[in-house]
Amino acid sequence: MPLTNPNELSYLEPGMLYQRIIEQSQYALACGALQPIETESTYLKFGEIQFLVRVLANLERKDHAKKNQGKTKDFNPFLPYDPDLLVGQLSETHVALLNKYNAVENHLLIVTRAFEAQESLLTPADFSAAIRGLEDIDGLIFYNSGKAAGASQRHKHLQLVPLPLVTTGVKFPLEPWINAILPLHSQQLQSLTIRELPFCHQLMALPPLLKTDSSGLTSLVHHGYLQALQSLKLIGSDSPTAIPKPYNLLLTREWLWLIPRSQKSYQDIEINSLGFVGAFLVRKSQQLEQITHNHPRGPLTFLKKVACPWS
């Protein structure tokens, strides 16, 4: 029997996102549109934190994926997107696509329907689509703003991975450090720092997503985002429409977090937003040893090297 693409009714009804991801993943796997990247997971214990390092099981597969991603200089995998990867429309301005080469299960891309540059400022429409995703899925939204922050595609895409990311009893490795400060400072948008982290960043508590009107929350998060960009000096206060310096943004149902970036990799290990919640992806097992053996503070040293010092 020929496969029928289930995405024909593509507008996402409230509460249907997770089911649609599962349904579309089955279809896309069967027809070859989805090409998961196999990895092996190792946990590195650092005090109470267990960092996750995924090692690619099949380097050729990933290299093939990379080659295909960059067919030509102007190749844009999201315009047009592959309809076999379409999960549905999140809003008038954003679609939800499966990540074609996913290392994390049910990894979603939240992509603008019209072209916008990846490093341009996030808009209320971007946050509205992201919050729509978080209403249905208790997940982590992330945004790699610019190549130095880990972005590989120039068309604007936020990403959503369901939580938990790890099997160690927390939602993600650094959760204990965030949970230790959030309850003490639950005042909305108050600027917080995680004292264990040796680099510049800003964390903000948000009101509970499921109990807050979504358009009010969208404006609040957008406002907090602009405030963080300015206080981290990623944009100047006199030119708020300029392209910001590179940064990673992470957003959950509870908080918003921005981290300025200096470079995309250290010792050939590339780090994107997921590195900052404690999840690394490396190409070969020697790189895992590089993280553990060469550095007494292990993963934190790598994060510090690709982030920026406090000024």
The residues in 102-131 that bind ligand AMP, with binding defined as CB under 6 A, are: 109
Under rule CB under 6 A, residue 153 binds ligand AMP = yes
101 binds ligand AMP (CB under 6 A): yes
**Closer CB to ligand AMP, 121 or 151, in the complex:** 151
Does 272 contact ligand AMP by CB under 6 A?
A: yes
Residue 141 structure tokens = 């939204």
Scanning 1-9, 98-106, 255-263, 275-283 for contacts with ligand AMP by CB under 6 A, the matching segment is: 98-106
Length of the chain, in residues: 311
CA 47 to CA 54: how far, in whole Å?
Answer: 20
Q: How far is the CB of 114 from ligand AMP (least distance, A)?
A: 17
Instruction: CB nearer to ligand AMP: give 69 or 219.
Output: 69
> At closest approach, how far in Å is the CB of 47 from ligand AMP?
29
The window from 150-158, 202-210, 240-248, 299-307 that contacts ligand AMP (CB under 6 A) reads 150-158
Total residues interacting with ligand AMP, rule: CB under 6 A: 16
Among 106, 144, 202, 287, binds ligand AMP (CB under 6 A): 144
Integer distance in angstroms from the first to the last C-alpha of the chain?
62
Q: CB 31 → ligand AMP: shortest distance, Å?
A: 14
Residue 109 or 249 with smaller CB distance to ligand AMP: 109
**Which is nearer to ligand AMP, 146 or 298 (by Cβ)?**
146
Q: Is residue 196 part of the contact set for ligand AMP (CB under 6 A)? A: no
Three-state SS annotation for the chain:
CCCCCHHHCCECCCCCHHHHHHHHHHHHHHHCCCCCCCEEEEEEEECCEEEEEEEECCHHHHHHHHHHHCCCCCCCCCCCCCHHHEEEECCCCEEEEECCCCCCCCCEEEEECCCCECCCCCCHHHHHHHHHHHHHCCEEEEEEECHHHCCCCCECEEEEEECCCCCCCCCCCCHHHHHHHHHHHCCCCCEECCCCCCCCCEEEECCCHHHCCHHHHHHHHHHHHHHHHHHCCCCCCCCCCCCCCCEEEEECCCEEEEEEECCCEECCEECCHHHHHCEEEECCHHHHHHHHHCCCCHHHHHHHHHECCCC
Binding of ligand AMP at residue 152 (CB under 6 A)? yes
Q: What's at 65, amino acid-wise?
A: A
* The token pair that represents 163 in the structure block: 């939580």
Among 25, 39, 50, 99, binds ligand AMP (CB under 6 A): 99
The verdict on 100 binding ligand AMP (CB under 6 A) reads yes
Q: Which stretch binds ligand AMP (CB under 6 A): 96-104, 170-178, 240-248, 290-298?
A: 96-104
The arrangement of strands across the sheet holding 139-145 comes to: 86-89, 94-98, 108-112, 157-162, 139-145, 247-251, 255-260, 202-205, 191-192
Nearer to ligand AMP, 42 or 153 (CB): 153
Task: Determine, following the binding rule CB under 6 A, whether residue 151 of this chain makes contact with ligand AMP.
Answer: yes
x/- string (CB under 6 A) for ligand AMP, residues 64-93?
Answer: -----x-------x----x--x--------
* Binding range to ligand AMP, per CB under 6 A, among 95-103, 121-129, 192-200, 242-250: 95-103
Q: Which residues bind ligand AMP (CB under 6 A)?
A: 69, 77, 82, 85, 97, 99-101, 109, 144, 150-153, 157, 272
